[in-house]
Amino acid sequence: MAETLKERKDINPQDLWDLTPIFESDEAWEKAFAETDKIADQFAAYPGTLGQSAERLREFYDLMYGAFETLEKLHGYAFQRKSEDNRQDAAQSMYSRAYSRYVQLMSAVSFLDPEILALPEETLQSYLKADCLAPYRHVLENTIRMKAHTLTAPEEAILASLAEVTGSFGDTMEMLTDADFTFDAVPDPEKPGETIELTESNYILLQRNQNRAIREGAFRNYYKTYKGHNNTFTALYSTQVKSDSIEARLRHFPSSVAGSLASNNIPVSVYDSLVETIHEAMPLMYRYVALRKKMLGLSELHYYDVYAPLVKDVNRTYTYEEAKQMLLEAVAPLGEDYVNVVKKGLADRWVDVYPNVGKSGGAYSIGTKKDHPNILMNFNGTLDDVSTLCHEMGHSMHTYLTHQKQPVQYDDYALFIAEVASTVNENLLIESLLKKETDKNMKLFLLNEYMEGFKGTIFRQTMFAEFERICHDKIDAGDALSSTTLNETYKDLIKLYFGPELVIDDEVAYEWSRIPHFYRSFYVYQYATGYSSAVALSEAILNEGAPAVKRYLEFLSLGNSVYCLDALKHGGVDLSTPEPVRMAMKKFEKILDMAEALVNE
């Protein structure tokens, strides 16, 4: 890879995504955008009329979803053009205008749910049975499902007006940490007299440094700053939790967690079952911690050692052509039809491959046109980049299959299942690589990458979920959250989840205060359930073959036409029981067995 970034115009066009299937040019986009000038006005005649007849509601639904489809195409194209080079004023303008038009439409149809829910029960039941509304039956059922938790229109307006305030605690936390915090520099043991800058953005990178003194220095200095603001973080987070509790109570939910999970129709038992099942599997986590200690050759394992690389001198790199071949080999178990669509996507330039000056960092998949999802990535030749290609193609295939099978009202999928397809692809990749790998160090490297996925996405996110549940339950019960309560609760969870081999430094008690996800309450558990579901699905695909593949591809095609748990159950994963999480833990145990055997050779 080149050391200096190229300008976009200097990159081979075959390595740039092709946006012309969405719009032929920016001029074509401008023409289409101009035609949406009055798109919100067409809804002015509908408020107060949705109770007239089922046909009137059908007419409204058709018009609304058509309008959203039009604007999502405009918005998606503009977003991708902006991502290509964020210095472009024209693309920035296109994106801003498309977003503003989208907000106008949202405002124009915001009366929909309150008006439907204000209709008499007999009207609602007749609408559910009406043939003309059959294509929207699940949409309507989902709206009616929330009736008991929807307030009067004036009350909803009051809550909406407070949303900017009640949603600001996380913004304040991130402003404090990202903009205002400064950390003491870390002495560089390899360059006496020199220091290494410590920032919010490079902390985890320093925790992965092979030099233990650097890791420890970063750890101590980082949490020294957080400890110094412990009371501020306590005030911010406890107010966030109080806000959640008050809204849940106002909406007539029995608890904060019930109120949060209701939007995806997830019973609280799924949340509790996850925590309970991971508690059963703690001995496996303790074995991994002990293996980490052994592989690092340490007499004591500290928290600043839990991200340290276990296998040194693994610097294998790959070309993009090699990465594409690795992707195709990885997804081969998903069948010829799946592979052929992936091949088509690669040939039709769904992927924007390399970094360029001004290009957005990271990676994403976006489905702007029904037969043409796109992937942005920044390929530099590492195994992580190969895995990213597989991950994002999983998202793209989920989007593609959903778009092929579902009408616009169901052609998206909820966050609860959004990471399943991407993780299945990642797991298939690492299984494919392990099957062929003969080098012991590389095999250990792959196994550790695999185990880190379980540690970071199932164990750690479940630990976060348990912390959130404890805190919200205290507030729901009328108790207070002091700094001592928060610190001790979190420290006790670290002890529980990492076990007796980890030396518990005082600094770990303050880690809760650096987790921004806590301000998006009851969000992180979905990482653990999604990863567990992906493990169960990938294991079935590899071991059962065609029947499991058929179920999985049907799952990828369901979109929002059914509730999340029902979609997963169709794919063969029943999260209403602990079995999928238990199956994931059995897989973790097998990987752990393999790694221990290699280390002990």
Q: Are 101 and 36 in contact (CB under 8 A)?
A: yes
Nearest Cα neighbor of 468 from 430, 421, 425, 517 is: 517
State how far the alpha carbon of 592 is from the alpha carbons of 229, 431, 512, in Å: 39, 14, 28
Output 163-167 pairs: Cβ under 8 A, ≥24 positions apart.
166/243, 166/247
**CA-wise closest residue to 221 among 242, 238, 207, 241:** 207
Distance CA 249, CA 252 (A): 5
Structure tokens at 369: 């046109």
- Please, are residues 78 and 29 in contact by the beta-carbon 8 Å criterion? yes
Q: Which residues contact 322 (CB under 8 A, 6 or more apart)?
A: 386
Distance CA 299, CA 318 (A): 36
Check if 392 is active-site. Answer: yes
d(CA 309, CA 384): 14
Between CA 475 and CA 515 the distance in angstroms is: 19
Continuous segment of H or E residues that includes residue 373: strand 372-376
Q: What span, in angstroms and rounded, lies between the C-alpha atoms of 593 and 601? A: 12
Residue from 348, 340, 338 nearest 369 by CA: 348
Contacts of residue 151, defined as CB under 8 A and 6 or more positions apart, other chains included, come to 159, 250, 251
Contact indicator for 430, 450 with CB cutoff of 8 Å: yes
What one-character DSSP code corresponds to residue 120?
Answer: -
CB 529 within 8 A of CB 416: yes
In the chain, how many H helices and how many E strands? 26, 7
- Number of residues written out for the chain: 601
Tokens (6 digits) for 241: 């939790």
For residues 421 and 293, the answer to whether their CB atoms sit within 8 Å is no
Look at the alpha carbons of 66, 71, 74, 77 in this order and tell me if their dihedral is positive or negative.
Answer: negative
Max intra-chain CA distance, the chain: 80
CA–CA distance, 473 with 226 (Å, rounded to integer): 25
Question: CB-based burial of residue 91 (10 Å sphere; 0-12 exposed, 13-18 middle, 19+ buried)?
Answer: buried
HSE value, Cβ hemisphere, 13 Å, CA-based, for 198:
28
Give Cα 212 distance to the centre of its chain.
Answer: 31
The catalytic residue among 72, 84, 115, 392 is 392
Residues belonging to the active site: 392
